[in-house]
Structure 1
């Protein structure tokens, strides 16, 4: 029996870990951590600009308010049988980092502005949760596809095929992330736009 590990990264970028939550879904190990970056603003009208100025997330040269980063770990065991080498166990671990903004002095604003910030932050989080769901679905698809693989003559050939299958499913996930952002206008259609006046 042999064990091998493959470290994989999703297309969606990320930043720093601060808080951890672990969960398991259909034998997929999912560890999610969250980090907040601070910004200050004395007016709602300036909050969006100041938030982006403070954001550590840069994509294609432009700052983003929030982001999800996923690191994958795939562990597989193989056994050589008379009919060839088979996968006997597949374990997928998904480590997610979600970065969100924190308006550090929002409590100094009036109740309407605080409510608008809370609404915006909830919508932004909902959009990021959609990216997390895509990655979780992909993790399940990877595990199912690998467990369904037919025996190969050698374990090396099986490992290579498993790696190609995993890479293909991850490429499809990257396309799904892009389609999700296009459909939601990067969360704008889900309400992730900070209104300028309240």
Structure 2
């Protein structure tokens, strides 16, 4: 008898979980190359200085760049809305990341020690950009967790305002982390992303 009572209690407690809000994160991470040419690493350095991806906010070129964008869409409980109560039921967070990296097109023409220096530099540069990707991924996770805790509101407008307020706060926080990461690493130099 006690086992049946315990089983019934577990089922009753599990039932509301099906109605709990839930979200998911869809991530698309892409890498694109920009081509540089040079007979040696000094010529490649010059080419990257001239052709590297431009950061519009800082108005300067860098050896690589990671751009990210987060969008979201959601649904609220239609049955509750008819009663004047608004609550999220489902949402999707879309994270798009694009990493722009240099590609030394004619590296095969360079001396072996210069090709090796390039390979080491490129691995360290990728390590730095991977750090930006991780921050972008943490941003999406933080937004997902925040939406999971959003409560009930008396109007659609108030629910939307609460979502926007939370998202803006999270985006400011993690945008600041990108800036701090670049400052701390000197845009990858302290991680070994240096080419003469």
Q: TM-score, with normalisation over the residues of structure 2?
A: 0.82
1:49 is matched with which residue? Answer: 46
Q: Which moved more, 1:119-128 or 1:76-85?
A: 76-85
Which structure carries more strand by proportion? 1
Q: Deviations over 1:101-132 (max 9, x none)?
A: 11111111122111110111111111011111
- Provide, for residues 68-111 of structure 1, a one-character-per-residue CA deviation record: whole Å limited to 9, x for no partner: 11122201111152572100012111111110111111111122
- Flag structure 1 segments of 5+ consecutive residues without an equivalent: 1-25
- Aligned partner of 1:118 in structure 2 is 119
Runs of 4+ in 1 over 6 A off after TM superposition: none
On the 8 A contact 1:89/1:147 being kept in 2, the answer is no
* Unmatched runs of 5 consecutive residues or more in structure 2: 1-22
Structure 2 CA distance for aligned equivalents of residues 147 and 43 of structure 1: 53
Distance 1:64 1:51 in 2: 8
Give the number of the structure whose alpha-carbon radius of gyration is greater.
2
Given that 2:84 and 2:155 are in contact with CA atoms closer than 8 Å, whether structure 1 keeps it comes out as no
**Aligned-partner Cα distance in 1 for 2:126–2:46:** 19
Matched, 1:174 2:195: no
Shift of 1:57: 2.0
CA drift at 1:56: 3.6
Q: Which residue of 2 aligns with 1:151?
A: 152
- Aligned pair count reads 170
* Cα displacement (A) at 1:182: 1.1
- 1:184 is the counterpart of 2:185: yes
Native 8 Å contact 1:41 1:105 kept in 2:
yes
Q: Distance in 1 between matches of 2:150 and 2:41?
A: 55
SS at the partner of 1:186?
A: coil
Other-structure match for 2:30: 33
1:94 matched residue in structure 2 = 95
User: Which segment drifts farther, 27-36 or 133-142?
Assistant: 27-36
Q: Is the 8 A contact 2:36 2:102 kept in 1?
A: yes
* Deviations 1:143-184 (CA, angstroms, capped at 9, x unpaired): 110110110111221011101110110000111001111111
> Secondary structure at 2:63's aligned position in 1?
coil
Whether the 8 Å contact between 1:39 and 1:101 is mirrored in structure 2 is yes
In structure 1, distance between residues paired with 2:154 and 2:91: 19
* Partner of residue 59, structure 2: 61
